[in-house]
Amino acid sequence: MPEVVAIGETMVLFSPVGDGPLRYIQHFEKRIGGAESNVCICLVRLGHSAGWISRVGDDEFGRFVVSSIRAEGVDVSQVKVDPEAPTGIYFKERRPFGLGQVYYYRKGSAASRLLPDDLDPEYIRSAKVLVGSGITPALSESCEKTLWRAVEIAKEAGILFVFDPNLRLKLWPPEKARATLLEFARRADVLLPGADEAEFLTGEADPLAAARKLQQLGPQLVIVKTGAKGALVVEGDQAYEVPGFPVERVVDPVGAGDAFAAGFIAGRLEGKRVYEAVRLGTVCGALATTVPGDVEGIPERALVDRLLEAKGGPDVRR
């Protein structure tokens, strides 16, 4: 059984070969993209075991998603094939000055039809960590119920629940998003919002003030991701910053937060102190931004260790 279990949708991603409005793009590269499967893939590359729970359509895209994630070493035994709904897809659009967009075609997708009955309680109980994100409850009422059921199972078994709000306002109204995400935050042991998400949830523009408000909801640990700066950690009465890892050129920021989460979780599974685990997360997140695609930039453990040993300095091996 895997150490970490994650629940959520993975779609087929069509990434443009070129920049500009999609109406002028003629060629795309086919990849996969999904926050929870990204976390699983990164954990496996860091030397841990992970299992992904979801649904896919009984179609070629669904088979592509499952085979791609299985090929990364992630356990996909809990993925259900839905013969009545398609696998979701989405397109990226790259524009100058970081003004790109993402276009989703996921309404009514197989993953949006996840049900609590799709869960095997023993599979979740056998894990050490349950990973959830705010994307899953945004997909449908049944998805929200499914994630709540998974949290209930994890809490009863004393399993760590790590929650990343992963705000997607294209999927639901702000009021519903805020209320639901705050409820999941109350049940989280570790909460991993980005700075903008922390402000959205609390109304506090200052990351520390926002983190303190979120801490009052109940999480043992609140880690606010602050982009290139790194992360702000609030643990008990302590609050401190963990510096980011410098990146000369950001190619694709999508997936960086997922890699950060995986790095942090890997560090804690290995018994590292919170600071060291967060530092591992910042390195993984930084590396994920250097290559196009959600998973293509997720690093192998050897590269992460080399960078940590070099502490940002030159490390040339011949």
Residue 128 has pLDDT above 60, yes or no: yes
DSSP conformation class of 58? S
Question: Does residue 248 register a pLDDT over 70?
Answer: no
Let me know how many helices (H) and strands (E) the chain has, helices first: 11, 14
Q: 3-state DSSP helix/strand/coil percent for the chain, to nearest 5?
A: 40, 20, 35
Question: 147: how many CB neighbours lie within 10 A of its CB?
Answer: 27
Mean pLDDT confidence for 105-122: 97
Q: pLDDT tens-digit profile of 45-89?
A: 999 999 999 999 999 999 999 999 999 999 999 999 999 999 999
Please say whether the structural domain 7-310 has been given the CATH code 3.40.50.300: no
**β-pairing verdict for 11-16 and 28-33:** antiparallel
Q: Is the pLDDT of residue 315 over 50?
A: no
Cα dihedral 59, 137, 134, 180, rounded to 10, equals: 170
Are 4 and 265 in contact, with CB atoms under 8 Å apart? Answer: yes
> What percent of the chain shows pLDDT beyond 90?
79
- Confirm if 133 and 168 have CB atoms less than 8 A apart: no
**Distance from C-alpha of 265 to C-alpha of 267, rounded to nearest angstrom:** 5
- Which tops the pLDDT comparison, 285 or 210? 210
| Contacts of residue 176, Cβ cutoff 8 Å, sequence gap at least 6 | none
Quick one: pLDDT band at residue 288, thresholds 50, 70, 90?
Answer: confident
- The secondary structure of 11-54 as a DSSP string is EEEEEESSSS-GGG---EEEEEE-HHHHHHHHHHHTT--EEEE-
Average of per-residue pLDDT across 122-126: 98
**Segment 88-111 mean pLDDT:** 88
Higher pLDDT, 301 or 255: 301
Q: What is residue 154's three-state secondary structure?
A: helix
Q: Which of the residues 82, 258, 294, 315 is marked catalytic?
A: 258
Whether 311 has a pLDDT exceeding 80, the answer reads no
Residue with the bigger pLDDT between 290 and 77: it is: 77
CA distance from start to end of the chain: 39
With CA atoms as reference, report the closest residue to 225 among 253, 184, 248, 186: 253
Taking a C-beta distance cutoff of 8 angstroms, is the pair 291, 297 a contact? yes
Per DSSP, the residues of 217-275 read: TS-SEEEEE-GGGEEEEEETTEEEEEEPPP-S--S--TTHHHHHHHHHHHHHHTT--HH
Structure tokens at 193: 């919002």
pLDDT for the residue numbered 312: 43
Q: How buried is 70 (Cβ within 10 angstroms: 0-12 exposed, 13-18 middle, 19+ buried)?
A: middle
Given a contact cutoff of 8 angstroms between Cβ atoms, the answer to whether 20 and 94 are in contact is yes
For residues 296-314, give the mean pLDDT: 72
- Catalytic, 258? Answer yes
Over the stretch 160-212, which tens digit does the pLDDT of each residue have?
999 999 999 989 999 999 999 999 999 999 999 999 999 999 999 999 999 99
Q: Is the pLDDT of residue 238 over 60?
A: yes
CB 122 within 8 A of CB 97: no
Share of residues in the chain with pLDDT > 70 (%): 93
Is 236:272 a contact under the CB 8 Å cutoff? no
* Average pLDDT score over residue span 256-283: 94
Domains of the chain, by residue range, sit at 7-310
Measured distance CA(58)–CA(86) in Å, rounded: 7
- State residue 314's pLDDT score: 37
Which of 61, 51, 12, 8 lies closest to 32, judged by CA?
12
**Residue 251 in contact with residue 98, Cβ under 8 Å?**
no
Cα 3 off chain centre by:
16
The pLDDT value recorded for residue 30 is 95
Mean pLDDT over each residue of the chain, to the nearest integer: 91
What is the rounded CA–CA span in Å between residue 111 and residue 104? 13
Distance CA 166, CA 171 (A): 11
